[in-house]
Structure 1
């Protein structure tokens, strides 16, 4: 966000395209998300949201088009380079180490060449204290010695978010943070998003829980068949006939 409070562009794509077996999962998508805001990317199942995430974070390479972050080209760059540019992300299915403790999972979030090096480096450079602070912030510090596989799914989501925060990203991309999570933890995740955004972090959230999306978001983009069909405030997109047609066929 600029000094006078005006919106600036964070993540943006032009003509982004990715196909699988002749099916366009992302089909020439040109879209921009607002830096400093809570952005949401919504759409029916199969509309290309996760593939879009994977393309812009380097998990897969797009077939065509470009992606940029705050004016810098990130198209096709490796995930670690995109992370260093300031983007962190979670996944639809939690990516944690199930047989490691909660605290160990936090320490391996520190970027080093090997798992062993990550743990050793973290323990010698003060990241233990930061890990514990972040675990306390998401509300699972009392579980630091618990193996990750013994957490509830909602607690695993909180652990993954805390791990993303270890890298101190300015933009956080969350892929279905409320999926499979009980209402109390959904409220906690929502509160965390609000407080982190108030501190200056940008969010881009893919989510099917419309109550969560509409209560949190400043800016909503709607995908259908791999491309954006509408965008605006929550009120604007909820009343857009193109959105109603995509979701309800009306």
Structure 2
């Protein structure tokens, strides 16, 4: 079953075409990688399918439902979560408060005043334990390392129980130990039934983690397949690896 399908997506900014008639088809249950040179349109594609920006043309379907033009909030509630290339947390809120804010149900003043449901707090603590941040629940997010902030961002995304998760450069600015932890967490979540699409420049991580890789160049896919096939594809070597 296709969990995310995009057809004919196009987006230009002024005279620059960022995404050029791109098609994308992700199948449920896989860890997918999306690689390509800087400026090839990967993050723009993420922004289109998550509703952050509107495509000039083309359609997006999520689990068989067309979501073209939907708001980010509505798409998130339909089961798609995402993290960002530059980590997005609320620095002056505690780790637990960041988790509860991500639910968007309680008002911020209620969260800060401790007026949140016990069930929500228990779910949040469970995810914090999964990512290894439960002992920092009362710490301000600004006092975490950048890698810990990325783990917090992912944990907050998981509060909505998405079945498809888009990760934008999860290894960027993160030390090797935390990269390994993120990779192990993605594998575990995938084994539990979640599908991933990961934009990443760390090729060692991509090749060891992803089961299927899509290569973008000049705004559209030029190759797709398992890691071994992608590593030897002459189009990929020319466009991405510079060979």
**Take 2:114 and 2:168, find their aligned partners in 1: how far apart are those partners?**
29
Higher mean alpha-carbon deviation, 114-123 vs 151-160, is at: 114-123
The answer as to whether partners of 2:93 and 2:141 remain within 8 angstroms in 1 is: yes
Matches of 1:228 and 1:190, distance apart in 2: 24
After TM superposition, the structure 1 = structure 2 runs for residues 8-27 of structure 1, keeping only pairs within 5 Å, are 8-27=1-20
1:1-250 equivalent positions in 2, closer than 5 A: 8-112=1-105, 114-116=107-109, 123-124=116-117, 126-250=119-243
Deviation of the 1:93 alpha carbon:
0.7
Instruction: From the superposition, tell whether residues 18 and 144 of structure 1 become closer, same or farther in structure 2 (CA, over 3 Å).
Output: same
CA separation of 1:66 and 1:150: change in aligned 2, threshold 3 A: same
Query: Shift of the alpha carbon at 1:249?
Result: 3.7
Query: Does the aligned pair in 2 maintain the 1:18–1:62 contact within 8 Å?
Result: yes
Q: How many residues align?
A: 243
Do 1:112 and 1:118's aligned partners in 2 also have CA atoms closer than 8 Å? no
Counterparts in 2 of 1:50 and 1:121: CA distance versus 1, 3 Å: farther
Distance 1:118 1:27, change over 3 A: farther
Residue 99 of structure 2 aligns to a residue in which SS? helix
Q: 1:76: how far off?
A: 1.4
TM-fit CA distance, 1:35: 1.0
1:247 CA displacement: 1.5
Cα distance in 1, alignment partners of residues 39 and 148 from structure 2: 27
Separation in 2, partners of 1:112, 1:27: 37
Query: Deviations along 1:198-247, whole A, 9 cap, x unmatched?
Result: 00011110000111111111111000011000000011111110000102
Distance (whole Å) between structure 2 residues aligned to residue 41 and residue 180 of structure 1: 18
Shift of 1:116: 3.0
TM-score (norm 2): 0.96
**Cα distance change, pair 152–126 in 1 and its aligned pair in 2 (3 A):** same
How far off its partner does 1:70 sit? 1.5
Listed as ranges, the gaps of 5+ residues in structure 1 are 1-7
Alpha-carbon shift at residue 120 of structure 1 (Å): 7.0
Q: What displacement does 1:121 show? A: 9.3
Does the CA-based 8 Å contact 1:34-1:219 persist in structure 2?
Answer: no
- For 1:29 and 1:65, how far apart are their aligned partners in 2? 8
Distance in 2 separating the partners of 1:236 and 1:144 = 43
Deviation at residue 111 of structure 1 after TM alignment: 2.1
Unaligned segments of structure 2, at least 5 residues: none
CA distance in 2, matches of 1:59, 1:20: 14
Instruction: Name which of structure 1's ranges 190-199 and 62-71 shifts more when overlaid on structure 2.
Output: 62-71
